[in-house]
Amino acid sequence: MATERTTPIGSYPLKSFFDKSYQTPLWFKEKELSKKVLSQQVSRRNLLKSAAGATGVIALPVFSLDSQAQNSLAKSKKTDPWLTLEVTLAHLLPVSATGPSSADINALAYLYQVMTVQPTSAQEKEFIVKGVGWLNSFANSKYNKTFVQLSFDEKELLLRGISRSSAGENWLNTLLNYIFEAMLTPPAYGGNPNGIGWQWLEHQGGFPLPKAGQRYFELPSRGKAKNQIAIREIEPTKESNRLVNIPLIKRTNKA
Amino acid sequence: MNKITYDICIVGSGAGASPVAYTMAKAGAKVLVLEKGPWLTEKEFFKDELAISIHDAYNPKLSEEQHVIEEQYEDGDSNSFWQREKTSDSGWTWWNGNVVGGSSNFMSGYFHRLKPVDFRLKSEFGAIKGANVADWPISYEELEPYYAMVEREVGVSGRVVQHPHQEPRSTDFPYPPIAEVPMSLWIDKAAEKIGYHAVPIPRAVLSQPAMGRRSCEYSGYCSRYGCSSGAKGSGRAALLNHAVTTGNCTIKPNAKVYKIATDDTGKITGVHYYDAQGRQQSVRAKIYVVACQAVETSRLLLASKGKKFPNGLANNSGQVGKNLLFSGGGAGSGDFIYDQLNEQQVSELKVVGPFINRALQDWYQIDDNAFTGANTKGQAKGGTIDFLFHQNPIARARGTQWGLDNEGEDKLLWGEELKQSIKQEFTTYKTLRFEVFNDWLPTDDCFVALDEEVTDKWGDPVAKVRIGYHQHDLEVGEYLSVKAEKLLVALGAKNISSSVSGYPATNLMAGGCRFGDDSKTSVLDKNCRAHEVDNLYVTDGSFMPTGGSVPYTFTIYANAFRVADKIKQHWQQLYSSHLKV
C-alpha cells in the first residue's frame, strides 16, 4: 500500500490516530470546521497567545500519488488509498431515501480531484493518505481485516473509535468537509452532478458557473518573483506564554 | 535615465486610482496605470465559492506576499504587550482583491455618503482621550458634487427618502433602485412599528443597462463576488475600460511597484517596479499618483527612502502610516423558523436574487443620556446598520457535522444523522444578518510600519500593521447592535445575537496618510498632494483623518474624482508652461 512504502517524515511521524504527539495543524484550523471554534467567543484583550505557537514553514517533500493513481480514477479506485476512501465516504454519506449518497454527489471523484488536480497542500494530502493507513492498521488490530472488509456495524464502531482521538476526529472532519464541497460546489470541480446537492437542499446555485479551464486554480497567473527568496522566520519572543492549543479566532469582514 | 513617457503614472488601479485615470485620459493626458495583479474581465468572474472565499483566488498566496500583524495581549500579571504574527502563520489574509480594479471588483457596493458631521468630528463632539480625532480640511459641501458625479459616472441605483439623518443632495439618483426581496417590506413595516426609519441603501449596481454595461442579473450571489454582467461599479468596469478606449491610458498588469525613487533634492526620478517576468523596470512621468489601498500605500511610501526622505517618501513629518482606520462595530443575526410562519411568509423568505437594501441611520448621531460614551450629555458620533442575507452554501454546511452525544458532549455526525442535520440547516429556517458600521477612532496604536524581518517574494519588506483600537468604538458598536436587535425582535426573528469586537474588518481600511493644513501633523494637503513633494498625490482612502460610519468605497471614489480635477489643473499648468517655453 502506498502509505506503507513511505518513510514517515515531515509533519506526520505518527503511527496511529491515537498518537499523543499529534497537534492540529493550521491548514485544518483554517477550514473552520471545529465546533469549538465556531461557538467560542474569544475576548481579544484576555487572550494569552504567542507566536511561539506558530511553527513556521516546515520543509516537506512534494506529495506524489503512486503511479497507479496517475491513471484514471476508475482504475485507481480498486486500490488504496482510493478503495478505502470510497468505502469510508459511503459510510459517512450512505445510500438512503432521505437524500443523495456519496456516490450520488460524486464524492470520491471530487476528492480524487482535490488530491490530483487542485493545488491542495502537501501536508493535507499526506494526512488524508496516512489516515487510510492508520484506519486499516486499526481495523487489522481489532478485527484482523482491512476496513473495506468490515460489516456496517464494525465500520461504525471503528470510526467512532478513531473519532475519539484528535487526529482521527480531524481526519474524519476533513473527509466530511470534502463531502460538503462535493455536494455544494459548481459541478466543474467533479462533484454535485447536475446540481444534485443544491436541489436536495433547496439552494439556488449562482450563475455564471465556472467550467473546466475556469476553476479557481486556472485563473490568470500573477507576476513572477525575480528569485524565490526565502522568507525569514520570526524568532519566538515570549516562549513562556506559549499555549498548546490556540483557538483560531473567527475573523470576518463586512459586506 | 528613462525619458519621461507619460504625463501621469498611477500606482494601483482600484477606487482611488480609476477616477484619476478616467479623468486624465479623457482630458488628453498620457496615463500609465501600474497594477500588481492580473487584468481580468467579466469573463473571469464566476459564482464560485471555492474561488471567492475558500481559496481566495483573486489574491496572492500568503507564502509569497503577506503582512505581519501586531496584536495586544496580556500576560498572567495583566501586563499588556504587543505580539507580532505573520499572516502566513495565522492564515488571516489582508489582501482584498489584487487584480485590475482592485478591491472594488469585490465590494458589495453599499454606497452611503458621509454626512456633514463626519467632516468635523472634533468640532462637533470634542476631543476623545486616547484618540487623535481631527476635522477634515474640506467640508461636505466641497465633496457633494463629486458624490453626485460618482452616482452618475460609476452608476448608483437608489431612492431618496426623507429621514432624520438624510444628508443634503444636489441631485436625485440617476438609476432607479435595484429589485428588492419581500424582506425589504417586512423591515419597513417593523421599523415603522417601533419608530425606526428604514432607509433604502443606494447601491453601486446598475438597475438598467448603461454606459456599455449590462444591468444586474440577480444571481443572488452579489456581495463579495466579482460581477460577470458589469453591473457592479468596479473601477475596472465603470472607469478603466472607458479610460483605455480614449487611447490615452495604458494599463500594465502584473507590475509590482516597490520604490518611488528621488534624487538628492527630493525630486522624483522614477517609479521602480517588477514586471510580469520579475524583471526590474522603471518609468517616469510628470505627475505621480499612489493609490494601492491604505496599508500598501503607506508601505510603498515608507519603502521609498532617499537622501531627502530618510524615513520614506513625504515622511519627514513621521506621519506616513499613522492613524490607520478600519470600521468599528460588528455583526448580528436572527433566524426565521419556517414552521412558525405561514406558507406565504415562507415563500417570501425563500426568494433569492434581488437585494434587501435596507439600513438604519437613526443613530448616526447619538443623543441619548443613557449612552455613557465620550461626552457627558450623551452625545456622540453613532453609525449605520445594514441588513443582508448570506448565500455561501459550503460555509453554511460547515458546522452541520457537529451534534451531541448521550452525555451532552460534542460528537461528529455522519450517516443518516448527518443527512438530517444538513437538511435541517438548509430547509427549515433563514438567517437575517445585520452589520454595524461606526467610526474607528484614530489612535497611536493603529499604524503601518515596515517589517524588519519578513519580506515578500521579491525580497522587499512587508507591511507590519499594529491593530489597536479605542474602547469607545466598542461602546458605540454595542449601542447600535442593541438597536438593531430590537428590529429583529419586531420582525419576529428567533435566536437573536450580535457580536462587537475590536478586530478590524480588513476589507474596510483607510488613513495612514492624513490630509490637513498643517504639514507637521499631516502627509497630504487638502488636495491630497504631498506637502513635501510637488508632483505626488495619494488618492485612495489613505487621506482620511476620520473615516465616517459607512463603507469607504463611495467616499474614496468621490474624493479621487475631486482630486482628479486638481491634478487636471496641475497638469494643464505644466502643459501651458511647457508651451510657453
Residues of A whose CB is below 8 A from B350: 202
pLDDT (tens digit per residue) in B542-564: 999 999 999 999 999 999 999 99
**Rounded CA separation B567/B31 (Å):** 12
State the virtual CA torsion across B342, B344, B346, B350 in degrees, nearest 10.
Answer: 180
The percentage of chain B sitting over the pLDDT mark of 70, rounded to a whole number, equals 99
Residue A255: name the closest of B561, B243, B551, B16 by CA. Answer: B551
| B425 phi/psi in degrees, rounded to 5 | -60, -40
Q: Tell me, what DSSP letter sits at residue B104?
A: G
Strand partners, B74: B80
Cα B524 to Cα B508, B510, B512, B563: the distances in Å are 21, 14, 10, 12
Do residues B483 and B384 lie in contact, with contact meaning Cβ atoms separated by under 8 Å?
A: no
| B27 phi/psi in degrees, rounded to 5 | -80, -10
Count Cα neighbours of A159 within 13 Å in the Cβ-side half-sphere.
27
**For residue A231, what is its C-alpha cell?**
522568507
User: Is A20 in CB contact (< 8 Å) with chain B?
Assistant: no
pTM reported for the whole predicted model: 0.92
**Rounded CA separation B342/B317 (Å):** 64
Binding-face residues of B in 467-496 toward A, CB within 8 A: none
What mean pLDDT is predicted for residues B244-259?
Answer: 98
Do residues A137 and A19 lie in contact, with contact meaning Cβ atoms separated by under 8 Å?
A: no
Residues of B whose CB is below 8 A from A196: none
**Rounded CA separation A87/A139 (Å):** 13
Strand partners, B110: B203
Q: Tell me, what DSSP letter sits at residue B363?
A: T
Identify the pLDDT of residue B270: 97
Residues 6+ apart with CB under 8 A from B408: none
CB contact under 8 A, A31 and B55: no
CB contact under 8 A, A254 and B435: yes
Do residues B220 and A204 lie in contact, with contact meaning Cβ atoms separated by under 8 Å?
A: yes
In tens digits, chain A (255 residues) has pLDDT values of 333 333 344 456 788 999 888 888 888 888 877 664 433 333 333 333 322 233 333 333 333 444 444 457 888 888 999 999 999 999 999 999 999 999 999 999 999 999 999 999 999 999 999 999 999 999 999 999 999 999 999 999 999 999 999 999 999 999 999 999 999 999 999 999 999 999 999 999 999 999 999 999 999 999 888 654 433 333 333 333 333 333 344 467 887
Do residues B425 and A183 lie in contact, with contact meaning Cβ atoms separated by under 8 Å?
A: no
**Rounded CA separation B219/B239 (Å):** 24
pLDDT greater than 90 at residue B513: yes
Please report, as a single letter, which amino acid is at residue B402: W
Do residues B404 and B445 lie in contact, with contact meaning Cβ atoms separated by under 8 Å?
A: no
**For residue A234, what is its C-alpha cell?**
520570526
**Rounded CA separation B210/B519 (Å):** 43
**Rounded CA separation A66/A58 (Å):** 23
Residue B40: name the closest of B110, B104, B94, B108 by CA. Answer: B104
Do residues B426 and B408 lie in contact, with contact meaning Cβ atoms separated by under 8 Å?
A: no
Residues of A whose CB is below 8 A from B111: none
Binding-face residues of A in 133-192 toward B, CB within 8 A: 156, 159, 163, 169, 172-173, 176-177, 180-181, 183-186, 189
Residue B412: name the closest of B400, B424, B420, B395 by CA. Answer: B400
**Rounded CA separation B239/B337 (Å):** 44
Locate the DSSP E strands across B361-460: 365-367, 379-381, 383-388, 402-404, 410-412, 429-439, 446-455
User: Is B416 in CB contact (< 8 Å) with chain A?
Assistant: yes
**Rounded CA separation A62/B366 (Å):** 58
CB contact under 8 A, A225 and B278: yes
Please provide the size of chain A in residues. 255
Identify the pLDDT of residue A232: 36
**Rounded CA separation B248/B305 (Å):** 31
Identify the pLDDT of residue A23: 87
**Rounded CA separation A102/A100 (Å):** 7
User: Is B501 in CB contact (< 8 Å) with chain A?
Assistant: yes
Count Cα neighbours of B336 within 13 Å in the Cβ-side half-sphere.
21
Identify the pLDDT of residue A229: 40
Locate the DSSP E strands across B189-304: 198-200, 249-252, 256-262, 268-274, 280-290
Cα B188 to Cα B125, B181, B194, B316: the distances in Å are 31, 12, 10, 52
Residue B116: name the closest of B135, B139, B142, B150 by CA. Answer: B139
> Residue holding cell 474561488?
B51
Do residues B438 and B328 lie in contact, with contact meaning Cβ atoms separated by under 8 Å?
A: yes
CB contact under 8 A, A47 and B73: yes
Q: Does A81 sit behind a cis peptide bond, omega within 30 degrees of 0 on the bond before it?
A: yes
Mutate to test the interface with A, among B89, B404, B471 (most CBs of A within 10 A): B89
Cα B282 to Cα B2, B106, B171, B264, B275: the distances in Å are 8, 30, 44, 18, 10
**Rounded CA separation B46/B81 (Å):** 43
Q: How far is CA B89 from the centre of its chain?
A: 25
**Rounded CA separation B194/B184 (Å):** 16
Residues of B whose CB is below 8 A from A216: 48, 50-51, 55, 57
**DSSP secondary structure letters along A176-217:** HHHHHHHHHS-GGGS-SGGGHHHHHTT----SSPP-TT-SGG
**Is B208 in a helix, a strand, or coil?**
coil
**Rounded CA separation B229/B47 (Å):** 12
Residues of A whose CB is below 8 A from B220: 204, 206
**For residue B400, what is its C-alpha cell?**
452541520
**Rounded CA separation B431/B494 (Å):** 9
Round the average pLDDT of chain B to a whole number and report it. Answer: 96
Locate the DSSP E strands across B54-133: 68-74, 80-86
Cα dihedral sign for A32, A34, A38, A41? negative
CB contact under 8 A, B47 and A205: yes
- Among left, alpha and beta (phi > 0; psi -120 to 50; other), residue B444 is alpha
Strand partners, B283: B271
Would you give the end-to-end CA distance of chain A in angstroms? 48
CB atoms within 10 A of CB B112: 22
Identify the pLDDT of residue A25: 86
**Rounded CA separation B480/B550 (Å):** 13
pLDDT (tens digit per residue) in B464-478: 999 999 999 999 999
Among B334-348, B363-377, B561-575, whose mean pLDDT is lowest?
B363-377
Q: Does A208 sit behind a cis peptide bond, omega within 30 degrees of 0 on the bond before it?
A: yes
**DSSP secondary structure letters along B52-67:** IIIS-TTS--TTTS--
Residues of A whose CB is below 8 A from B274: 223, 225-226
Would you give the end-to-end CA distance of chain B in angstroms? 23
Q: How far is CA B24 from the centre of its chain?
A: 24
**Is B323 in a helix, a strand, or coil?**
strand
pLDDT (tens digit per residue) in B169-190: 999 999 999 999 999 999 999 9
Q: Does B200 sit behind a cis peptide bond, omega within 30 degrees of 0 on the bond before it?
A: no
CB atoms within 10 A of CB B229: 19
CB contact under 8 A, A207 and B217: yes
User: Is A212 in CB contact (< 8 Å) with chain B?
Assistant: no
**For residue B77, what is its C-alpha cell?**
500579571
**Is A234 in a helix, a strand, or coil?**
coil
Buried b (16+ CB within 10 A) or exposed e, B13-30: bbbbbbbbbbbbbbbebb
| B321 phi/psi in degrees, rounded to 5 | 95, -15
Residues of A whose CB is below 8 A from B37: 222
CB contact under 8 A, B38 and A222: yes
Buried b (16+ CB within 10 A) or exposed e, A218-227: bbeebbbbee
Identify the pLDDT of residue A12: 61
**Rounded CA separation B447/B319 (Å):** 10
